Amino acid sequence: MSERQSLPAAFWGIILATFVARTGFFVESFLTIFMKTEAGFSAGLAASVMALYGFGGAIAAFLSGPLVDRFGPRRLMIVSLLATAALAGVLALDPPNWSLFALVLMIGVVGQVIMPATHSYVALTVPQSLQRGAYSWVFIALNSGLAFGALIGGLLAGVSFSLMFASGAMLLVLGALFASVSRRRIRVSTAALAAASGSPATAEGEAKETADRARPMEGLRVLSGDRVFRRYILLNWLFMALYLQVFLVLPLLMLADGLAPRDYGIVMAANGSALVLLQLPVDRLLGRFSSARLFTVAALLLALGLVLNAFASAIWPYLVAAVFWTAAELINMPLAASVTAALGPPRLRGSYLAVHGMAFPLGMGLASLVGGSALALLPDPKLIWLVLAAVAGVLALLRARIEPGLRARLADAANASGDRMLSTEH
């Protein structure tokens, strides 16, 4: 039986919900352009306001771990999607500029619960030997949605930002509906999964049992004493702070080059399409290499992509640069999720994956502060790409230094589960 056929049916239900919801998340991708072109904010202020989105989301993602452990990931996903849809609906009503600060903060808070919940759901329903491939499918769904969403959002923004936000809200509600109706499938498919694995417990039962046993703050106390995980996750946060400039500074600098929102949508659609087409083949190719080493390679590819952004002024050079930062994302994102799930104790994976989930919003907050300051202070704003590339080079060195400890920890996790994929070294 192929790996795809081995994945439980409930997993595919959540994949569908993730794809639809992520398509609607162009609401998030075009916030900086909206604040610059419609609200009249300066480029520096628009980027800095996104720090509220990032830090609000980081706090929410951190606190979502105990909630996932306690109440289960599917419920939190549904609540998060509906709340984000409601806020997108408010933006569609053209609220006053002063309210945008609070709205951006709230979108960050409720929107960033989704990924920790999704990752926890995968960890609960998919055997560890299949999780690396399962997380690849999660990111295929995310990036398929990103590709469609970037094109749709760019086209709708050219007509009306109100229409864009209203359309995003409807897609988010549809994603929540797909997640909610998957409950019956969850129970059936996890029973089959339990039978296949020789375990009498279903994944739904495992989720309940985990919730019953895990005290709300227990995971956070365990995390604070996990030295290998702390080093690994801090460097992953830094990676995200660098990578996320493509959502914050890149659209603003493309506008400064005389390009249109549609052009930014094309670049992001190319990014999403490449990830969708290449994720599984690349995952199979890289499965033979050390996960710890691949993190270092991802940082080097990101550095090269950032350097090339500094010299781009038309859409084609921007697309060439996107090849390299897309390759970095292709390696880093699904690998980071599967490694985090492997490092966390089974009963506390919600907490571990929530801290992992902080990478996106916390990176967004840091990227917003750095990007906003650079746009306001640097004589040539494009110099920011060279500074960021230098930091990415340092990140690669730091990741290389933690490789031995991370490799040993992953080997222990693989031996405990009978899964050798995460620790393979050639």
127: amino acid identity, one letter:
P
DSSP-derived secondary structure for 31-89: HHHHHHHTS---HHHHHHHHHHHHHHHHHHHHHHHHHHHHH-HHHHHHHHHHHHHHHHH
Q: How far apart are CA 352 and CA 249, in angstroms?
A: 30
Q: What is the pLDDT of residues 355-402, one digit of tens each?
A: 877 787 788 788 778 777 777 788 888 899 999 999 999 999 999 999
- What is the pLDDT averaged over residues 5-33? 80
Cβ partners under 8 Å of residue 12, min gap 6: none
Q: How far apart are CA 319 and CA 150, in angstroms?
A: 15
Q: How far apart are CA 332 and CA 328, in angstroms?
A: 6
Q: What is the pLDDT of residues 120-175, one digit of tens each?
A: 788 777 777 777 778 878 878 887 887 788 788 888 888 888 898 898 899 999 98
Per-residue HEC secondary structure of 327-369 comes to HHHHHHHHHHHHHHHHHCCHHHHHHHHHHHHCHHHHHHHHHHH
Confidence of residue 5 (pLDDT cuts 50, 70, 90): low
Domains identified in the chain, total number? 1
- What is the pLDDT averaged over residues 311-315? 93
Q: How far apart are CA 175 and CA 157, in angstroms?
A: 22
- What is the pLDDT averaged over residues 292-319? 94
Confidence at residue 217, expressed as pLDDT on a 0 to 100 scale: 58
| Residue 83 or residue 337, greater confidence | 83
3-state helix, strand, coil in the chain (%, to 5): 85, 0, 15
Q: What is the length of the chain? A: 426
Confidence at residue 218, expressed as pLDDT on a 0 to 100 scale: 59
CATH number at residue 149: 1.20.1250.20
Host domain of residue 75: 3-423
Contact 322, 267 (CB under 8 A): yes
Q: How far apart are CA 10 and CA 374, in angstroms?
A: 45
Contact 381, 254 (CB under 8 A): no
